[in-house]
Each structure stands twice: as C-alpha cells, then as structure tokens.
Amino acid sequence: MLLILVTAALSRNVNRLSTWYSFCMSWIISTFSYSLLSLTGQQLTEPNFGLCFTQALLIYSVPPTTSATTLALLLHTLLTFSSSAGQTQRKLSLYTSCMLVIGPYLLLLTIFIGVALYVTRNPLYLHKADQGTYCNLRNPHDEWLRISMIVVAVISVGIILVQVQLVAWLYHNFRSLRRDSAAFGHILRGVLFTFTGSVTFVTALVLAISDDHNLTFDLIIAFFPVLALFIFGSQKDLLQVWTSWRLPHRENIQNLSSGKNMSERVTN
C-alpha cells in the first residue's frame, strides 16, 4: 500500500480523489499497528510498556478509522461521479472535502485519547494478547474492544447503504458509461472492495456482543490490506508508471558498445 500511495502522489499521470489517499494511509497505519511488535523484534519477548501502550491504542482506534476512510471514499465517489453519467467529475465544496478526509482521523484521535486515559488509570490491564502478535487489554476489562467494534458495525451499515446506491447508479448508467472512464474504474473497484463490508459488519457485531477475540478476527483484519493492495494496485495507470522504465534499445546498446571500443582504440 505504501508503494501505491507514493507512486500516486509522485506521478503526474495518476489522478485520485483526496479520500483515496486517506484510505490508503489508514490501511498503512493499520498494517503498521498490528506489526509493531514484529517490527521491533519484541513479538517473542515481553515488550516494554511504552511500545505495548502505543500499540494497544492503535489496535483499538485503527479499525474504526479504516472503516471510516472506506465510507468516506465511497461517499466521495458517489458525490463526485453521480452526475452526467460519470463522464465529468463534480467539484465538492472545500468543507465537504476536508470533512471526508479529516473526519476519520478525528475519530482515530478520539478513541486513541480515550483508550490512553483508560490505560493510564489502569496500567495493569495492559498485556500482550494470547496470540502473541500485539498488545491489548485483558479480556474482562476489554470494553474498548466492544466500543471499537460497535463503531465499526455502525460505519459498516453506512458502507453497505452507500454501496447499494453505487451499484444502483452503476446499473442505471451501465450502457452510457464508458468502460475506460474514471467513474467506472473508481466505482467498480470501490464496490468490489467494500463488498466485504457485510463480512466486516458481521464480524464486528459478533465481537461487540461477545468477549471472543481470537485468531479468526486477526486473519480477517490481515486480509483487508492484501485485498486493497490487489484491487487498487492493479489499476492501469499505476501499472503503466511501474512499467514505464525500459531497458535501452538494442541499437543504443550497440552504439554504446562501439563507442566504448572506439575510445579504447584511441587510448591504446
């Protein structure tokens, strides 16, 4: 995801919605947060309190954030391409654009601070999970997991509703919509990725009403960045940027070789 984000940001030939960059960034943060112990070499040992504290805050605040950036991307797509059969992009107001980008990270900050205050008052509740892959709160006191999953479930409902509108719009405009248009590509990939929103909703709902946070949940969470990588990293303009570097033509290689031989003769 980091490669995709950097490529899109640096290339003039790749144009994306602002919420697309926010979406990619949130999944990069998510991947980083769950890999923090592994990246620091403390997965097999008892991690220090500061690292464990930081990871726990991210573990609870990132899932709602990635859900919110996904919803923001879908809303932005719906508002941008819902006119003129998607052939022209509608300009959103600065306030709307800023809220779609900043809103999810305000949510992250809110949960981050809330968990930080809770752990500061109850430091003994913090521990490394039974799976050994990350730090969280001990099960009887893991109310923040339930809160986080309730937020994810609520946002997932919004994702599903917006997705239905996008599918309906795509169906009604399918004949008039060019297959190579920006609208078609954005909406199709967005719908394809968020089709898993129902899976997210069910998972979040189960975890919100139970205390079972097991390996299945971790595997589901780990699956989404990989899915996003394949769906959004296989777009034509990105592939063109990555393949734009070519080896020199055979004629250039021959000219270079002959020039080198000539210089050697002159030297001799």
What residues are paired with 135 via a beta bridge? 128
Least Cα distance to 56 among 108, 126, 140, 105 occurs for 126
Which tops the pLDDT comparison, 166 or 124?
124
Instruction: Write the pLDDT tens digit of every residue in 211-232.
Output: 555 566 666 666 666 666 666 6
Are 54 and 143 in contact by the 8 Å Cβ rule? The answer is: no
Residue 217 has a pLDDT of 63
Please work out, in degrees rounded to the nearest 5, the angle formed at the alpha carbon of residue 264 by the alpha carbons of 259 and 267. 125
CA 54 to chain centroid, in Å, comes to 20
The per-residue pLDDT for range 136-147, each reduced to its tens digit, is: 887 666 788 888
Q: What is the pLDDT of residue 146?
A: 83
Give me the pLDDT at residue 137, please: 85
Tokens at 259, concatenated: 């020039």
**Please, which residues bridge with residue 126 across strands?**
137
Residue type, 196: T
Residue 28 contacts residue 226 (beta carbons within 8 Å): no
Intra-chain end-to-end CA distance of the chain, in Å: 53
Alpha-carbon distances of 180 from 1, 88, 121, 177, rounded to whole Å: 23, 13, 55, 9
